[in-house]
Amino acid sequence: MRVATSESPSRRWRTVLRLIYFFPLMAVVSFTYAADQPLRMGVFPRVSSAETAKAFSPMADYLSERLGRRVTLVTSKNFELFWKAVTEQQYDIVHYNQYHYIRSAHMYQVIAHIEESGKGAIAGALYVRKDSGITELSQLRGRTVMFGGGKDAMLSYIAPQFLLMQAGLKQGDFKNQFSVSPPNAIVALYHKQADAAGGGGTLIDLPLLKNAINTEEITILAATEPLLFLPWAVKRGMPAKLRTSIQSILVELKDSEAGRQVLKSAVITGIGKAEDKDYEPHRKMASAVFASERNFNGQSRPHESGIPTR
């Protein structure tokens, strides 16, 4: 039988000193490894994965070069996969719509917003045909309103629904219909497949629509205040120095020819700074709209409940 013996005091101290020396080295190696890991950049699927990759790969490459650290663009085939990655915090940097941000603000910190056609803030609006005879929101009672995209669309669904609520119209007072995209909602309105359509306040200025229909026959019935446009956010917990560097690189893209080419590829005219309070109007609208829907339906859908208050 082997009998256990105790270590001498001097030997125990030598062991302790080795451990004290060894563990800091482990921490340094671990930290260095983490710092060398690629940053994952996610972009929500407004278009196909191939089109997203073509549009935003130059931005990922530009960030990699300026940061001295690889930035990997991650695309998604559909919104469900994209949102799953957001909720699992798979992205270090993410570009999505305003409602996506306010739903994930407890996980991500907004740092910037995009500009399109030189505008950083765009109103949500309701459109009608000029020959419809509709001049007030109250006239939409009992009529059909077409919304582009889904119920997550800030400018095409949430903001127009908020306008209807402000006019005293609640769910059930009008008929909701959906098209695959905001431009398609305007096209449906033009062809009299709906009495009104929701969309951003600059929607009818799109060349795509001007080439498809006579936009002179469409007018804005009502519009919200301008709402800050689509955000860029980073994972909460990202070191402040890295977060600030990413923000500066994005905001300064328009100041160089190389940066302007990156913006052109993404069909963006500029990027400006943003912080959480800039999205408070969006948060209030979304809370009001989905609270009204829950009351109408007598239940809560998972993505509509518990909008973060931060």
The reported pLDDT for the residue numbered 11 is: 53
Same fold, 36-119+228-297 and 124-224: yes
Class of domain 124-224: alpha beta
From residue 290, alpha-carbon distances to 131, 136, 159, 162, 302 in Å are 32, 23, 11, 10, 11
Q: What is the pLDDT of residues 235-255, one digit of tens each?
A: 999 999 999 999 999 999 999
Per residue in 273-305, is it b (16+ CB within 10 Å) or e — as a string?
ebebebbebbbebbeebbebbeeeeeeeeeebe
207 vs 108, residue with greater confidence:
108
Q: What residue spans define the domains of the chain?
A: 36-119+228-297, 124-224
* Residues found in the chain: 310
Locate the DSSP E strands across 70-209: 71-74, 93-95, 108-115, 121-122, 124-129, 144-148, 175-179, 196-200
Q: What is the pLDDT of residues 30-62, one digit of tens each?
A: 343 355 799 999 999 988 899 999 999 999 999
- Least confident interval from 68-72, 178-182, 303-307: 303-307
Strand-pair category, 270-273 with 196-200: unpaired
CATH number of the domain at 36-119+228-297, please?
Answer: 3.40.190.10
CB of 159 within 8 A of CB of 226? Answer: no
The reported pLDDT for the residue numbered 10 is: 52
